[in-house]
C-alpha cells in the first residue's frame, strides 16, 4: 500500500514551544479527515521562516511573535487587510508556488467578541498598541464599533489612533476612560506571569464587558478582577480558536470544526465548559 505524504503546515515564531496551535490544528485535520500535519518551528528571523517554507515544502504557515511585521516584505503578495493592519499571521502557498500573506487575527477578535456581544455602535477601549491592538481596532471598525486606544507609551498609542481615526489615552490616565468593553491586547498576565494585570482593578467598573486576548491562563488576573468588579468577561479562547479556524479555511477551503478545536484547547488548559 502506498502512503501519500501529508500536507505540511508550520507555526513560525520564537518562542513556539508552549503554543497550543499544533494541538488545535492537528485535532481539526483529523476530524476533517484531511491528511495534514502541523508542526511548531522556532526560527531566529523572518528570512529563516521563508527558507524553511521551501525546504519543508509547506502549504501554509502561521506566523507569530516576533515575525508578524518582519515577514511582510519577504512575501510575493500581501492582501489589503494585512497591509492596513500592518501584520501578517498567515502565509498560504498558491498553485503557482507564490507565497501570499493574510491576517486572521482581526476575524478572531471580532468572532471572539461576537460570541458574547454585538459590536455595532458600541465603544471599545483597546489596551496596547502592537499588532494585536491593530487587528482589534481594524476588526471593531469593520463591524461598526468605535475603538479607542489606551497605551503605556502615549506616542505609540496616538500614532495608532490617528491611523484608525479614533481617540487615544495614556494608560496612566485610564481612570478617565469609560467604554462598553475593555480589551487587553498586551501579553501582560500570560503564563508564567499569571499574577499581573495591565489595568488597575478599580477602573474596571467603567467597562460592563472585559475581554482578554491572552488565553493561557483562561482566567487571567484581569478577568478575575473584572468578575469581582461585576463586569461580564470574555476569555481569549474564542479569539484563538477563530484565528486558527480561519487559517484552516484559507489553506483547505473547508470549514473546520470550531467547537472541537475549542474543546481540545479548553481541556489542555483545564477549563470548564462555558469558559
Ligand atoms: P503584539 O504585536 O503581540 O501586540 P507588541 O508589538 O510587542 O506585541 O505590543 C505590545 C503592546 O503591549 C505594546 O503596546 C506595549 O506598550 P508600549 O507601546 O508602551 O511598549 C504593551 N505592553 C507591553 N507590556 C506592557 C505592560 N507591562 N504594561 C502595559 N502595556 C504593556
Mean pLDDT, residues 4-21: 94
The tens digit of pLDDT for each residue in 221-230 reads 999 999 999 9
Ligand 1 centroid to Cα of residue 131, in Å, is 9
In this structure, what CATH number is given to the domain that contains residue 205?
3.40.50.720
Same domain, 116 and 171: yes
Q: Residue 231 is inside which H or E element, if any? A: none
Report the predicted TM-score, pTM, of the whole model to 2 decimal places: 0.95
Count: domains in the chain:
2
The tens digit of pLDDT for each residue in 51-100 reads 999 999 999 999 999 999 999 999 999 999 999 999 999 999 998 999 99
Same domain, 118 and 222: yes
| Closest residue by Cα to residue 167 from 194, 195, 189, 147 | 147
Can you give the residue range of the structural domain that contains 97? 7-103+238-269
In this structure, what CATH number is given to the domain that contains residue 78?
3.40.50.10860
Mean pLDDT, residues 193-197: 94
Q: What is the pLDDT of residue 275?
A: 57
What is the tally of helices (H) and strands (E) in the chain?
9, 12
User: Cell numbers at residue 121, please?
Assistant: 455602535
Same domain, 77 and 182: no
Compute the distance between CA of residue 211 and CA of residue 225 in angstroms, rounded to an integer. 12
Residue 166 contacts residue 140 (beta carbons within 8 Å): no
Ligand 1 centroid to Cα of residue 17, in Å, is 21
- Residue 2 confidence (pLDDT) above 80: no
Ligand 1 centroid to Cα of residue 115, in Å, is 26
Same domain, 211 and 115: yes
- Residue 273 confidence (pLDDT) above 80: no
Q: What is the pLDDT of residue 124?
A: 98
**Domain membership flag for residue 138:** yes
CB 264 less than 6 A from any atom of ligand 1: no
Q: Which residues are catalytic?
A: 68
CB 117 less than 6 A from any atom of ligand 1: no
CB 131 less than 6 A from any atom of ligand 1: yes
Amino acid at each position: 500500500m502506498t502512503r501519500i505524504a501529508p500536507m505540511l503546515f508550520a507555526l513560525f515564531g520564537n518562542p513556539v514551544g508552549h503554543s497550543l496551535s499544533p494541538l488545535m490544528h492537528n485535532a481539526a485535520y483529523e476530524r476533517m479527515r484531511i491528511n495534514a500535519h502541523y508542526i511548531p518551528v522556532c526560527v531566529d528571523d523572518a528570512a529563516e521562516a521563508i527558507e524553511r517554507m521551501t525546504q519543508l515544502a509547506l502549504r501554509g504557515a502561521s506566523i507569530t511573535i516576533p515575525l508578524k511585521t518582519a515577514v511582510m516584505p519577504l512575501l510575493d503578495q500581501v492582501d489589503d487587510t494585512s497591509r492596513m493592519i500592518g501584520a501578517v499571521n498567515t502565509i498560504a502557498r498558491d498553485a503557482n508556488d507564490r507565497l501570499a500573506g493574510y491576517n486572521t487575527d482581526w476575524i478572531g477578535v471580532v468572532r471572539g467578541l461576537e460570541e458574547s456581544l454585538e459590536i455595532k455602535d458600541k465603544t471599545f477601549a483597546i489596551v496596547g498598541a502592537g499588532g494585536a491592538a491593530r487587528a482589534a481596532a481594524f476588526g471593531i471598525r469593520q463591524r461598526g464599533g468605535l475603538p479607542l486606544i489606551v497605551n503605556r507609551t502615549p506616542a505609540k498609542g496616538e500614532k495608532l489612533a490617528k491611523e484608525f481615526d479614533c481617540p487615544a489615552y495614556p494608560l496612566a490616565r485610564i481612570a478617565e476612560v469609560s467604554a462598553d468593553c475593555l480589551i487587553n491586547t498586551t501579553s501582560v498576565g500570560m503564563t508564567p506571569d499569571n499574577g499581573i494585570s495591565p489595568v488597575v482593578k478599580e477602573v474596571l467598573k467603567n467597562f460592563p464587558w472585559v475581554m482578554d486576548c491572552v488565553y493561557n491562563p483562561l482566567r487571567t488576573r484581569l478577568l478575575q478582577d473584572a468578575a469581582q468588579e461585576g463586569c461580564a468577561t470574555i476569555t481569549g479562547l474564542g479569539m484563538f480558536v477563530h484565528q486558527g479556524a480561519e487559517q484552516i479555511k484559507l489553506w483547505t477551503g473547508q470549514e473546520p470544526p470550531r467547537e472541537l478545536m475549542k474543546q481540545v484547547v479548553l481541556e489542555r488548559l483545564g477549563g470548564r465548559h462555558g469558559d
